[in-house]
Structure 1
Amino acid sequence: MNPAKRSFLITLCLMLSIGLLHAPQVYAETVAVIDSGVNPDHADLAGKIVPGVDLVDGDNNPFDETPEQHGTTVSRIIASVHGQNRIMPIRVLDAGGFSPEAIVIGGVNIATSSDPRVINLSLGSPTNTYSQALTVAMQNSARAGKLLIVAAGNGGQANPAFPGSLASLFGGLAIAVGALNRSGSISDYSNRAGNSQNFYVVAPGYSNFSSYIGTSFAAPYVSGTAAAILDQNPRLSAQQVAEIIFNSADDLGAPGTDKIYGRGKLNTAAALQPQGDIGLAGDSNDSGSSGALVAGLVVGAGVAAAIIIRNKSLKKAVVVDSYNRPYQIDLGGLITVRSDGLTMERMMQNLRRTTETAQLLLSDSLQMAVWYDRNPTLRLYALPELEDEENIENWSMSLHQRGRNGAYYALNLNLDPRQFFGLAEETSGIPLFDRRNLTAPYAGFAASANMALAGYKTASGIDVKLGVVSMDDKSDFGVKSKSVLLEGSIQPHEKLRLGLQFSGLNEQGSLFGGASVGAFSVDTSETIAAGFTAKLKLNRKISIHSIYSQGITLVNDRKKGLLQQFTGIRSSSYAMGISGTGLIRKNDRVSLTLSSPLHVNRGEVSLSVPTGIDFATGNALRQTERIDLASTKRETDIELGYHLPLGRQSGLAAYLIYRTDPNGLGEQMARGRYGTMVNFSSRF
């Protein structure tokens, strides 16, 4: 799959499965409401009012005396946005809703010197008169790290009224708020964004708590959202909170920022969802999205089962967005297992694909061949004249010199290197759907690679070959490796061939074919492996074949990854089978193969999963568990194949595949999986 498409799909899965983590109760954010006070005798405000001040009566009982309960309605809206929000009432408006400028300035100064990070100002100058003193007070508040949310005013003007007009002067530390009507468009009475368009949003100018309308009641929706964002991460700056609100707003009016709706309509739900890159929770010296990326959750089959089954902390892992806000997610449920075993997906891909070959004889012994796949599911163009180009999916090329005896060499581009090793040649005439387990299991884990091959074959049957392989598969977040394979085989008897195979594999960023980036990636893994092969011809019709390989792997941990402190890993794979020709019909071929893809026999790793954030320090809280990588069941695959020639150019093939404990996940994937395929082929 294309990495960009896969990244999009995984991000979509993340968005669907994450759950918001609230900061501990001590971090519940408080909004300073500079208004007419509050009437606390409402059930929805119970336990949500912190001590405030009354600058009108000069006491500590800021009770709302306005007929419309202006400050109370503002407070109830803020509390309704997010259950953790608290209100600090600062009464500056009298029973008539008016106040001398000096009292408003005093209210701003008190809010500046108090704990609340968000200040709601649902008030304005009746005559839209500029005040230098109030401007200075609000500037001091912004410099102190407060986010000022100011009503834009109800004059139906092209620009916000003072002090909402100051939003453009504070560089993202203040937001002017206009009002929407119930039909979702800007209210006639609401002042527009105008010259404050970059720092202006709109929100409902109404509520379920009052019949009154106005920008006064739009502003608290924004204040409540800002407080909820700070509740997610109290270490955010006021400017970051404003960025989140602006970036998550729904665009209204002319595309982009405009002079009517500014940045658009407040979207509280979107503001509380992750923004930017999603990563693992890190430490205080890391920036947002500080841990390893969670997009590349591809794990090699050899270790996947132990990680998925044996660790419950994956179900409550914490990831963060680019603002370091925590979200809970089941990482185990998003892991993709990359397997070299038999799969129905691989069967269907091969069934849909047609491989065509072009060969060029350069000399008596030197030949060049090009292969390319046609996949009829790929339809890029509808024009008949482009038919030859529309569904070419992969291409490969080989330049090779080969004779019956003596030296031979090959230079291969984008070919599977395993087809030149192990029992690939000896089983080439056997009806096997997937023969990779019979070749070189430690050559690498991508489907294709570039390889330089040199070998020497003697007349007595001795064959020695050396291959240098470079893999760089960018699909599924990358498999990048280099390997060297040395193989020798002898034929001590005309019916018996024995072989030895040695390989050294260096994977860059991955382990056994996992993603080279992401939460489960490593720095490097280096494997040394050895194996033996054997083929015995029992009689004229029946042969048996087998291969066994074992490897030792040393892993270098990746900083910030989930997998740490590997021990040495011992792994193995095997395959054995029996094949025959002419058993049922003349020239038919049948095979039965029992194989097991790479399995870890010994090895341990620590899985360190972030499960929370200590907001006092900014560091991740981790749950670490030691995992025995050899504690899972071994997958065993059985394949039965049959091929019946129907003429010189046609044939019928049938395959039956059964997997026990696929990828070692038998408990989660039922006891086994099977697949069948029948294929008719003909050449014209």
Structure 2
Amino acid sequence: MPTAFNTAEFRRSDGPVAHNAATAWGGGSTGKGVTIAFVDTGIDVDNPEFAGRISPLSKDILNAGRDISGSDNHGTRVATFASAARNDSGVVGIAYDSTILALRTDDVGSCVPGSSGSASGCLFSDGAIADAVTYAADNGAKVINISLGGDGATAQVRNAVAAAANRGVLIVLAAGNGGEDEPESFATLLDTAAAGGVIIVGSVDANGALSSFSNKAGAQNSHYMAALGEDVCCVYESGTAYLLSGTSFSTPQVSAAAALLAQAFPNLTGRELAEILLSSAYDVGAPGTDAVFGRGILDIAKAFQPIGTLSLAGSGAPVALADVTGAGASAMGDAFATAALPAIVLDKYRRAFETDLAGTLRGARPAERLRNAVGGQQRQISLGSAKISLAFSIDASDPHLGLRQGDLHLGIEDAEQARVLAARVATRLAPDLAMGFAFAEGANGLVAQLQGQDRPAFMIAQEAAGDTGSLNRSDVSFALRKQLDGWGLTFAAERGAILSGAEIRRAYEMRGRQLESGASTYSVAFDRRFGDLDASLALSLLAEERTLLGGRFHDAFGLAGADTIFLDARLGWELAAGWRLGAALRHGQTKVHSGGLVARGSPISSTAWSFDLERRAVVAEDDALGFRVSQPLRVEAGALNLLLPSSYSYETLLPGYAVRELGLSPTGRELLVELAWRGFLLEGSAAVSLFYRADPGHYATLPDDTGAAVRWSREF
């Protein structure tokens, strides 16, 4: 509860305390501008609790020339629990800023002067009540409180209530004080007539038990709820404080709660006000709707929470705040940890709520590099001649060793050690022209082989060239290399998919699957050897259909993909016999496709780099020891500009928009250091690796990762 409301006056006010009214007050909802009509015995116009808020349209419905203050205090007491002022005196009503339309409807001479809090001493005709309901609807009342009852209701009053409900007015009725299993027939008949535009209110005590005098929900349970109506503090009269009991006094608390909602969400009809209050009631008694408590006990705080499926204002696309609306890519690391994306969402009743969508974003899970390096069980098969070569691997974990299309992929040793093309098929068309095709493998390995690169075989730390900073699946790739007077010119293309690094759950699409979207890569590379120095420079385009460097966002954002230009530079230097120094640098510039909620701009830059030193023939002629330091692709600067709803007009039912920047640069920076040995051991190929990994996945808060890996394989 906001501390500003924790006053002596508030603590004396049982109804606002019991029903969590201060939550709505803290958000600015006090009933201001909303008219509550009280069809009753009039109101004390001199009571300071109502000063300045009694509508000048208040009147004696019977036009008998009577003062609206009346001779009975029932109407004044009812209005107190709904609308008493917040003035540090007496008690405060739930809708303390609301406008009071007092409609005196008691029959002339029927009230006994000075009678008790009950209106039982007064008589009311259905004709007067019907006229009051119609008058209230004609004069701007949003809520009509009728803390009256009786047996039966004429067609005249039923028609008046139905007409008011059809005009968007909510009618709130007392269940009655007979301790019966059903509300009084006056209330049940009007409920039926209003077809959802009525709430019938029973009474509970301070412990939430139904008051012994209160009529129960009975057959009207779907439109019945309860509020505090037993020993409710306090009404001050002639220096005396009175505790009051009766459904007459629980009813205005529900009316006042409706006024708070009507102020906050002026688009709501009376029937929608009823649905919200009833569906948000605190469930007591038998689970769900029951014949005693109906829908439960009034809970104003819950009534002000979103209900049903949410959507971004203006888009209509569903957004589940409990689910994930954005999944970052590996290159973005922990960028979402400090993000803020304020936006307006609408619930099923078109009520606008401000939320921070950043709370629904998730970063990509850091890659399990050790498991990826040694976790698979594979059999590599390669064969070839001077003009053509083939290579593939089979998943050896399959007990039947079945060859399945989706399981085909090439091992690192085939690509970088065995000098066999990292592809399905490669062929030399002419002495200066070679071509390769790959299935389920990327173009990077094809290019490396066509260029004749001799890369050190590291298990954990990857080379910077070709790092996309995302989880990729390659379906098919192609490369063509032409030798031109000492220069090599290589064209390559690849088609595959980007896999999301974290799930985005969309109820109409996802069933625990990992999302994937199409992506294509096109590249051109130049390479040349200058004595002991070999170098290559490549320019590539990564075209993503629905992702951003592998990051994915909910359909409501309308992300239509991105294009990234990567510049790759590689150097290799045979600095001495058996010694090789290598370096690679990748720099990317990403342009996000605008459209939907994605605003223009959003330039993003990213880098990856690696340095390595290799010594061949360390303990044997055919072994090698390598040392590498690398940084995987990381977004260095840039943000995704989103045009998000920032305000909402209930007059036009349209949102206003503002550009929000979602920073994509992480605070962490992953650094990988690996010492790797490879060679022949025990008639097989062996590899040993020791590695250290700082800020895994570019997450600054994750502990550093260290480990070792050993791999051994043998030809059969």
TM over 0.5: same fold? yes
Give yes or no for contact 1:370–1:397 (8 Å, CA) kept in 2.
yes
Q: 2:298 aligns with which of 266, 275, 284?
A: 266
Question: TM-score if structure 2 supplies the norm length?
Answer: 0.70
Residue 585 (structure 2) pairs with residue 553 (structure 1): no
Between the aligned partners of 1:111 and 1:142, the Cα distance in structure 2 is 12
Q: Which residue of 1 aligns with 2:149?
A: 124
Q: 2:560 aligns with which of 523, 527, 532?
A: 523
1:497–1:520 distance in 2 versus 1, CA, 3 Å: farther
Q: Which residue of 1 aligns with 2:509?
A: none
Between the aligned partners of 1:599 and 1:24, the Cα distance in structure 2 is 45
Give yes or no for contact 2:336–2:363 (8 Å, CA) kept in 1.
no
Give yes or no for contact 2:442–2:477 (8 Å, CA) kept in 1.
no
Residues 252-289 of structure 1: CA distance to partner in whole angstroms, max 9, x if unpaired?
3333333333223332211101112334433xxx7697
Give yes or no for contact 2:143–2:169 (8 Å, CA) kept in 1.
yes
How far 1:245 moved relative to its partner?
A: 1.9
Give yes or no for contact 2:591–2:601 (8 Å, CA) kept in 1.
no
Between the aligned partners of 2:528 and 2:210, the Cα distance in structure 1 is 87
How far 1:401 moved relative to its partner?
A: 2.8
Give yes or no for contact 1:31–1:118 (8 Å, CA) kept in 2.
yes
Q: Which residue of 2 aligns with 1:579?
A: 613
Between the aligned partners of 2:129 and 2:435, the Cα distance in structure 1 is 94
Between the aligned partners of 1:416 and 1:228, the Cα distance in structure 2 is 61
Helix, strand or coil: the match of 1:191? Answer: coil
Q: 2:437 aligns with which of 401, 406, 409?
A: 409
Letter in 2 for 1:676: D
Letter in 1 for 2:100: I
How far 1:119 moved relative to its partner?
A: 1.2
Q: Which residue of 2 aligns with 1:71?
A: 78
Q: Which residue of 2 aligns with 1:619?
A: 654
How far 1:580 moved relative to its partner?
A: 3.2
Between the aligned partners of 2:302 and 2:264, the Cα distance in structure 1 is 13
Give yes or no for contact 1:515–1:521 (8 Å, CA) kept in 2.
no
Letter in 1 for 2:40: D
How far 1:59 moved relative to its partner?
A: 4.9
Give yes or no for contact 1:201–1:263 (8 Å, CA) kept in 2.
yes
Which deviates more, 229-238 or 215-224? 215-224
Q: Map residues 487-636 of structure 1 onto 2, 5 A cutoff.
A: 488=525, 490=527, 492=529, 496-517=533-554, 521-539=558-576, 540-551=578-589, 553=591, 555-558=593-596, 561=597, 563-566=598-601, 569=603, 571=605, 573-581=607-615, 588-593=625-630, 597-599=634-636, 608-623=643-658
Residues 590-618 of structure 1: CA distance to partner in whole angstroms, max 9, x if unpaired?
222356624458xx986544433233333
Between the aligned partners of 1:37 and 1:26, the Cα distance in structure 2 is 20
Residue 660 (structure 2) pairs with residue 655 (structure 1): no
Between the aligned partners of 2:633 and 2:546, the Cα distance in structure 1 is 25
Q: Which residue of 1 aligns with 2:345?
A: 319
Give yes or no for contact 2:281–2:297 (8 Å, CA) kept in 1.
yes
Unaligned runs of 5+ in 2: 1-22, 86-91, 235-241, 385-389, 400-405, 411-422, 429-433, 505-514
Give yes or no for contact 1:591–1:642 (8 Å, CA) kept in 2.
yes
Unaligned runs of 5+ in 1: 1-17, 339-344, 374-387, 389-394, 664-668
Between the aligned partners of 1:33 and 1:105, the Cα distance in structure 2 is 13
Between the aligned partners of 1:64 and 1:653, the Cα distance in structure 2 is 93
Give yes or no for contact 1:509–1:525 (8 Å, CA) kept in 2.
yes
Q: Which residue of 2 aligns with 1:53?
A: 59
How far 1:48 moved relative to its partner?
A: 4.7
Residues 102-125 of structure 1: CA distance to partner in whole angstroms, max 9, x if unpaired?
322232122121212111111111
Q: Which residue of 2 aligns with 1:430?
A: 458
Helix, strand or coil: the match of 2:392? Answer: strand
Q: Which residue of 2 aligns with 1:80?
A: 93
Which deviates more, 146-155 or 164-173? 164-173
Q: Map residues 216-295 of structure 1 onto 2, 5 A cutoff.
A: 216-282=248-314
Residues 154-187 of structure 1: CA distance to partner in whole angstroms, max 9, x if unpaired?
2222322133203134221111222223332333
Q: 1:158 aligns with which of 181, 195, 198?
A: 181
Give yes or no for contact 2:474–2:494 (8 Å, CA) kept in 1.
no
Give yes or no for contact 2:319–2:325 (8 Å, CA) kept in 1.
no
Residue 166 (structure 2) pairs with residue 143 (structure 1): yes
Between the aligned partners of 2:580 and 2:383, the Cα distance in structure 1 is 37
Between the aligned partners of 1:19 and 1:577, the Cα distance in structure 2 is 60
Between the aligned partners of 1:176 and 1:356, the Cα distance in structure 2 is 66
1:21–1:28 distance in 2 versus 1, CA, 3 Å: farther
Letter in 2 for 1:29: V
Give yes or no for contact 1:504–1:526 (8 Å, CA) kept in 2.
yes
Which deviates more, 318-327 or 491-500? 491-500
How far 1:235 moved relative to its partner?
A: 1.1
Which deviates more, 358-367 or 154-163? 358-367
Between the aligned partners of 2:69 and 2:442, the Cα distance in structure 1 is 77
Q: Map residues 370-381 of structure 1 onto 2, 5 A cutoff.
A: 370=395
Helix, strand or coil: the match of 1:580? Answer: strand
- RMSD, aligned α-carbons: 4.8
Q: Which residue of 1 aligns with 2:472?
A: 448
Residue 124 (structure 2) pairs with residue 100 (structure 1): yes
Give yes or no for contact 2:464–2:630 (8 Å, CA) kept in 1.
no
1:578–1:358 distance in 2 versus 1, CA, 3 Å: closer
Give yes or no for contact 2:427–2:435 (8 Å, CA) kept in 1.
no
Between the aligned partners of 2:281 and 2:70, the Cα distance in structure 1 is 34
Between the aligned partners of 2:666 and 2:256, the Cα distance in structure 1 is 52
1:516–1:420 distance in 2 versus 1, CA, 3 Å: farther
Residue 466 (structure 2) pairs with residue 439 (structure 1): yes
1:681–1:509 distance in 2 versus 1, CA, 3 Å: closer
Between the aligned partners of 1:537 and 1:19, the Cα distance in structure 2 is 74
Helix, strand or coil: the match of 1:264? Answer: coil
Between the aligned partners of 2:178 and 2:149, the Cα distance in structure 1 is 11
Letter in 2 for 1:168: T
Residues 642-682 of structure 1: CA distance to partner in whole angstroms, max 9, x if unpaired?
347898778462314369xx98xxxxx9xx77853221345
Q: 2:672 aligns with which of 632, 635, 639?
A: 639
Give yes or no for contact 1:417–1:448 (8 Å, CA) kept in 2.
no
1:131–1:584 distance in 2 versus 1, CA, 3 Å: farther
Between the aligned partners of 2:632 and 2:372, the Cα distance in structure 1 is 25
Between the aligned partners of 2:69 and 2:618, the Cα distance in structure 1 is 97
How far 1:528 moved relative to its partner?
A: 4.8
1:240–1:520 distance in 2 versus 1, CA, 3 Å: same
Between the aligned partners of 1:531 and 1:114, the Cα distance in structure 2 is 74
Between the aligned partners of 1:181 and 1:305, the Cα distance in structure 2 is 51
Letter in 2 for 1:124: G
Larger radius of gyration: 2
Q: Which residue of 2 aligns with 1:36?
A: 41
Give yes or no for contact 2:676–2:687 (8 Å, CA) kept in 1.
no
1:362–1:654 distance in 2 versus 1, CA, 3 Å: closer
